Structure formats: structure tokens, C-alpha cells
Amino acid sequence: MIVVRGVQPASIGQTLRDLEVTVGGHAVVLARLGQPAPVSPLLVDAVVDALVEAGCDVTVGMTLGSDERDRGHRSVSALAHTAGLSGRTQRGRRYLVADLGEDTIAAPVPASSVLAQAQISRLWVEADTRVVLGRAVTDLTDTYAAELATLLGAAREVAGAQDADVATGLLRYLPPVLAVVDALAVSDGADGARILGPAAVAWSGEHTVGSGTVVVARDALHADCVVAALLGVDRASSRLIGLAIDTMGAPTGRVEGDLTPFQGIRRPHPLATAAARRVGADARLARVLRAATGGPDEGAHPVDSVLASLRPLITPAVTAATDPVGQTGLVALLGAVSAVSEGIHGWLGGLDKSRIDRVVVPLGFDADEHLDDEYDRLPAFFAPFDAIVESLPEAVPGVDAGMRWCLVDGATVFEVSRVIAAGFDDFVARVDVAGGISLMADYIGGRRVAVGHEGSGRQAERNLYLPQPNYLAAWGGRQIDVCKIELVERGPDEHRLLWRTVKSPKGVRSTTTER
């Protein structure tokens, strides 16, 4: 990791060589090109020159996502042109500019990843050298952004997934070998990613006013952590960085250079960030907030008339949200919106569940951390509870809905049964007990992966459900999110799915069996 201050972009090539990163072949530079805070074209030139000198042919690009389209942008080439990229460096080295989302393939990742079955840029997957070139900016919902926010541009958007899960998946399975952060002129303020901040200044010849800093690293996560230190913020205040650290561990390694925080950087007030995150719980409202903040962007087409009418309301409120007084207007506005949104979602959980969005998540734990016998011991573990249920009086059809239950050591042991007018073989041929959890009421998403050799019956699963009982949703009840190890048993006259909960964000530990 090298932090260079008071730098001229043309000297970055030597910094890259000092880092001793092995590069070659086809290099793909995933760059932040979106307005109003793209990377410096002089820094792009310097990185391209260094790669070409190392024997690479270079493509620079990003994926045109919903954020750019919502703000009126129609093509990556137009964004690149507006950002000052010409396809040729000042030293005459040529490079291609591409929309990385135009040609995609299924992500070559394990089934446990949120990226499983997602579409990833073919250029990024097949590149011999991957480089991320981000810019240090403040961000309303994540405090700051740099490398991982730019890395999201390697994939098409995954509907129902959180950006933090996607960024962590890319970092784990398709990481860059080189990370460069443009902190030459930090775009600060309450949302420097969408409103060019007062500290952001343009380069002029060989001189600049501002931080004049570039961060160069082998590890994109480490680079973002250094940016947080330079901006004087908690690295985990970004949800992308926080989840990546929780999942992969904190980055380590020596840092060369001055880590003294920049002076005069303005950031979003914590209350404004909290309010924006509440609104962002609804993906549609999050898009509206991002699109209506700042603008109109240079080179953009006219936006939707609704967004155009919202900008004069939202942009001034966001601009002012950097201090205890200025944030009050934005917090009040977003608080009212989020209260209405949460109320609607709460009542939908009980009255119109079909309108609840499905979610896409990674498995959430390493299934291989549990030994095979932990899965195989599940029948023996449940045998005493099976005996308890069998000792209870038979359920009376039409009276107790096929349920029999009792309390054991403070836990509820129960059985619910129903007779179906179908032959056993015909039924199990169409309904696989291995997927039984996803057929349960109030299931809204999850992930299931096989563990061990085929036919072992071992599998791991993560499940999300609506709050239970459903009426709790109207009072702010949280969704249930649990990770399980499971064993599938199939016999001639009985199929069973047994599971044990091993992890939950809410700290729940439970054991359950299903027949």
C-alpha cells in the first residue's frame, strides 16, 4: 500500500512499479466515470501509460447502471467523453472505452455466493489484469465511497440483493490485482458522489489546489480503509466496507506514506445518514433519492419530470446536511417519507404479502466449517423429540387443525399434519422435501447449497421470512434471518428434512425437524 501526497499524475507510473504488481496481457480498468465526480482523466492516462509500458493492451470502462440511466445518461462512451477520456493518453498510448455490461456471462462463483447466476462482465472475468480506479467522495448513505463502490460496476445489478453483498462477492471471487484511488481533489459535502463538493477542484497544468493525493494498493478493501483514515471517518461507516470486513476480515499490510487526515473535509451529518438509510430500505425510494440529488449532470439527457420536480426540493436539503443545524430539514423530509414507507410495508406484511419484494442473499456462513457428522447426527439429536410427539394424543381433524404440541424445558415441541389426496410416490416426485423451507408461508428469499458428495443428503441453507406473527410488521418488527445446516432423508414411505439453526443476525438459536 502506497499513499502519495502532493503528487503529479504523470509520476504515478513509478508508484505502480514500486508496488511491484505483476501485470500483463489484456488489462481492464474499471473506472468511476459517472458525473458529477468522475476520476481525473490525467490519472486515467497515467495508469494506462504504466500498463501499456508493462506490456498490456488496455480497456477502460464501467457498467451503465440504473443510477446513471436515472440521471439521464445513455452510454458509457458519452460518460467517458464528458469525463475527458479520449481513447488516447497524452503520451499517445491508445486504449479502448467499453460498457462492461454489454457482454456478460454467468458469474464463475460458488453456489453460496450472492453472485451465483448473476451476470458479470465477460471482459472483467476474462481479463489478465484487473484494475479498479475509483475516486474518493463522500456519500449520503455510506459516509464515503471509493474502490468497492466502483467495483460494483463489474456486474449487472442483482435484483433483490444489497450492494454490500455484491461488492463483497466481487472482492472475494473476482478481485482486482491493483486498486488506485483518485484523491487528488476529494468531492466532499453531504453527498459528494452526486453533488460536486466545495473541496473538489480541477487540475490545471502541473498544479492543483486540494489534497493532491493518490492511494495505490494491491487490495481494494485496504485502499478503502486508507481513504476512510484520510477522510477522518470510521471505515465501517460504509456498509460496503463494514460487511467486507465482517466477512473477509480486516485488511493487513504495511502502508507507506502520510495518513494525516485531510483538513476541511465536510461530511454528511450522522443523523442525515441514518435518515437516508431508513428511506433506502425500499430500493425504489433509494433510487429516487439518488437520482434527485444534484444534477442536472453535464452531458445528461432531460430526466423524468417527477425527478426534475423533486430536485429543487431534495438537492438544497442534502447540500445543507453537513452540520447539526443544516441536517434538520433533510432529516424531517426523509423521516416523513420513511415513516409512510415503513407503514405501508408493515400493513402489506399482513394484508397483501404478494407485494412484498423477494430478497437475494449469500449463504451467510461457511458450511464447510461444520463437520460431516454434525449433519449426520441430526436424526439422533431429534429422536427424543420425535418420541415426545409420538406420545401425545392424536390430533383430531377439524378440531385442532392437525396440531399436537407440548412444552419441554421452556421450548415448544409440536407436530402439524395434513392428509393430502395424492399417492405418496406421485407427491414426492413433484414436491422435493429438500426445498420444503422455501415452500413455507411468509418465506421471502434465501439460498440453499448442497454439501459433501451427491446423495449424502447434507445441505446448508439461509432463509428469510416476514416478521412472526405478521402483525408485528406494523409495529416495526424485523424480518427473520437464519442460517441452517440440514439433512435430507428419503425412505420408501417417508421423506424428512431435519435442520438446526447455527447462525442468526438476531442471535436466535433453534432446532427444528420437518417431515
Contact 118, 107 (CB under 8 A): yes
Contact 338, 275 (CB under 8 A): yes
What per-residue confidence (pLDDT) applies to 397? 67
User: What gap in Å lies between CA 442 and CA 350, rounded to an integer?
Assistant: 10
What per-residue confidence (pLDDT) applies to 506? 56
In a domain, 361, yes or no: no
User: What gap in Å lies between CA 467 and CA 350, rounded to an integer?
Assistant: 10
- The pLDDT tens digits for 188-232 are 999 999 999 876 654 443 434 346 889 999 999 999 999 999 999
Residue 464 vs residues 159, 446, 482: alpha-carbon distances, Å: 16, 6, 7
Contact 123, 97 (CB under 8 A): no
The answer to whether residue 427 scores a pLDDT higher than 80 is yes
Cell of 485: 445446516
Spatial CA neighbour of 404 closest among 388, 384, 421: 388
What per-residue confidence (pLDDT) applies to 230? 93
**Residue 253 sits in the same domain as residue 314:** yes
Contact 182, 214 (CB under 8 A): yes
Residue 498 vs residues 29, 134, 431, 487, 509: alpha-carbon distances, Å: 47, 46, 16, 5, 15
Mean pLDDT of 9-38: 86
Name the residue with higher pLDDT: 123 or 213.
123
Q: Residue 245 in 3-state DSSP? A: helix
The answer to whether residue 86 scores a pLDDT higher than 50 is yes
What per-residue confidence (pLDDT) applies to 200? 67
**Residue 75 sits in the same domain as residue 51:** yes
Spatial CA neighbour of 334 closest among 321, 322, 346: 321
The answer to whether residue 508 scores a pLDDT higher than 60 is no
What per-residue confidence (pLDDT) applies to 396? 75
Domain that holds residue 11: 2-257+266-354
The answer to whether residue 240 scores a pLDDT higher than 90 is yes
Helix residue ranges, H only, 22-156: 41-53, 66-70, 76-82, 122-126, 147-151
Cell of 408: 419441554
Helix residue ranges, H only, 137-238: 147-151, 163-173, 220-231
**Residue 332 sits in the same domain as residue 478:** no
**Residue 95 sits in the same domain as residue 209:** yes
**Residue 343 sits in the same domain as residue 375:** no
What per-residue confidence (pLDDT) applies to 443? 92
Question: What percentage of the chain exceeds 90 in pLDDT?
Answer: 70
Spatial CA neighbour of 134 closest among 34, 58, 56: 34
Cell of 164: 454490500
Q: Specify the range with the lowest mean pLDDT, choosing from 81-95, 121-135, 179-193, 246-260.
A: 246-260
User: What gap in Å lies between CA 194 and CA 101, rounded to an integer?
Assistant: 22
User: What gap in Å lies between CA 45 and CA 192, rounded to an integer?
Assistant: 23
What per-residue confidence (pLDDT) applies to 440? 87
- The pLDDT tens digits for 328-341 are 999 999 999 999 98
Q: Which of the four pLDDT bands, split at 50, 70 and 90, describes residue 315?
A: very high
Phi, psi of 30 (to 5 degrees): -85, 110
Mean pLDDT of 127-137: 96
**Residue 344 sits in the same domain as residue 381:** no
Domain stops at, among 354, 385, 413:
354
- Nearby residues of 281 by Cβ (< 8 Å), 6 or more positions away: 338, 341, 342
CATH number of the CATH domain containing 393: 3.30.530
- The pLDDT tens digits for 369-383 are 999 999 999 999 999
Tell the residue number behind the cell numbers 439429536, with chain if given: 381
**Residue 326 sits in the same domain as residue 382:** no
Cell of 411: 421450548
The answer to whether residue 107 scores a pLDDT higher than 70 is yes
**Residue 350 sits in the same domain as residue 422:** no
In a domain, 189, yes or no: yes
Domain stops at, among 326, 354, 382:
354
**Residue 190 sits in the same domain as residue 72:** yes
What per-residue confidence (pLDDT) applies to 10? 67
In a domain, 362, yes or no: no
What per-residue confidence (pLDDT) applies to 328? 95
User: What gap in Å lies between CA 472 and CA 478, rounded to an integer?
Assistant: 8
Contact 349, 474 (CB under 8 A): yes
The answer to whether residue 292 scores a pLDDT higher than 90 is yes
Number of domains in the chain: 2
The answer to whether residue 184 scores a pLDDT higher than 60 is yes
What per-residue confidence (pLDDT) applies to 204? 41
Contact 365, 502 (CB under 8 A): yes
Cell of 231: 477522510
Mean pLDDT of 140-157: 96
Q: Considering the entire predicted model, what is its pTM?
A: 0.90
Provide Rg for the chain, Cα atoms: 26
Beta bridge partners of residue 57, listed in sequence order = 26
What per-residue confidence (pLDDT) applies to 400? 67
The answer to whether residue 502 scores a pLDDT higher than 70 is yes
Q: Is the dihedral of CA 327, 328, 333, 336 positive or negative?
A: positive
User: What gap in Å lies between CA 358 and CA 389, rounded to an integer?
Assistant: 34
Helix residue ranges, H only, 418-462: 424-430
Cell of 419: 392428509
